[in-house]
Amino acid sequence: MKRDFLRVFDLTQNEVSGILIRASELKSGVDKMKCPLIGKSIGLLFEKPSTRTRVSFDTGIYQMGGHPVYMTPQELQLGRGETIEDTARTLSRYLDAIVIRTSSHEKLIRFSEASTIPVINGLSDLHHPCQALADLLTIMEKKGKLKGLKIAYIGDGNNVANSLIEAAALTEMNITIACPEGYEPDGEVLERAREISSSEIVIVRDPKEAAGMAHVIYTDVWVSMGQEKQAEEKKRHFKGYQINSSLLQCARPDAIVMHCLPAHRGEEITDEVIDGTQSVVFDQAENRLHVQKALLEFLLQKKD
């Protein structure tokens, strides 16, 4: 039976743990010569530009013996009006799995419902689950555990925040989101996370309150792709939500700083912090490769 990964909650707590353990093994070089994707072709259907998602998947698929097939809607008949469902059914006959990066989570769901192969969310407007897996691996590496830690997420309650909330709920971490009114994470995500987990999931307005005694300080851009028309308005609302040295002093002395990248330096985070000794953003970026290799192995084993 095929499994999709459209949001973190598509996995169980034990499955997340297993993927993180496997990702650590792959990162360490265990099974370096093993090629679980040999003879398999993995589609990469991207509506949006990408650095980390595209290159990490492309490289990971190659390293595991598979063949990545990169596509944009303009290169397919999608660009000429073919339906999502017909595209999904057709690509399912050629590929073994597909990664989709899209502006619409609804499109992703429609594709997955018509597809007979595993579908992975490479980013949608509602969730960024592969990023969240890399975040968990990074925190586990730096802190030695996940359960009981406090994450302070400062900024827009966007797709990254939604997935981070789900990741925290499944691993029993506590998370405090500091955002202006009207920029909270998705309501359904918050409700479900609070239903299934004993984790503290809190929304506040004061970034310093959120950062207090945090083990992890996390942020993302204030203006996501497709929101350029709202840029000036959002920047006004998020004034005061920057991660800088003053805010970092509110957290634990050994707190780590995370950013999913790309960063708008001087806006949501300062150069001093992102380039500082507490920053782990490039370890975080590297870990996209390792968790996605483990995820592909997991999903394709389930399908087989």
**Residues whose CB is less than 8 angstroms from the CB of residue 200 and which lie 6 or more positions away in sequence, other chains included:** 150, 174, 175, 176
Residue 204 CA: distances (Å) to CA of 74, 155, 177? 42, 11, 6
Helix (H) or strand (E) run with residue 109 in it: helix 105-114
Q: Which of the residues are catalytic?
A: 101, 128, 131, 220, 260, 288
Tokens representing residue 298 in the block: 């997991």
Tokens representing residue 132 in the block: 């969240």
- Asked if residues 122 and 272 have their Cβ atoms less than 8 Å apart, the reply is no
Whose tokens are 């994470």? That residue is: 185
CA distance 256 to 215: 7
Tokens representing residue 285 in the block: 């970026």
Tokens representing residue 4 in the block: 């999709």
